[in-house]
Amino acid sequence: MVFGPVPSRRLGSSLGISNIPPNVCSYSCVYCQAGRTCQIQTKRRAFYDPADIRDAVSEKLTKADALA
């Protein structure tokens, strides 16, 4: 859900947030860089609770501050 910090040309480093689980897509492209689509999803829905994303970002920021 939250990854990084990763190098950023503009910011120096940044966190990434993915609000869609891995291998969930509306396509099943044979050339996809993310790998095979395990769950084809065509209807809109929330995959994660926004509070869970907020908590994960907060935790990553706390860990990043501790390393700095």
Would you state the pLDDT for residue 51?
95
Per-residue pLDDT at 68 exceeds 70: no
Top-confidence residue, 57 or 64: 57
Residues 26-54 have a mean pLDDT of 86
Distance of CA 37 to the CA centre of its chain: 16
Q: Which residue(s) pair with 37 in the sheet? A: none
Cβ atoms of residues 29 and 63 within 8 Å: no
Q: Which domain holds residue 55?
A: 2-67
pTM, 2 dp: 0.68
Q: What is the pLDDT of residues 4-35, one digit of tens each?
A: 888 889 988 888 888 888 888 888 888 877 77
Q: What percent of the chain has pLDDT over 90?
A: 22
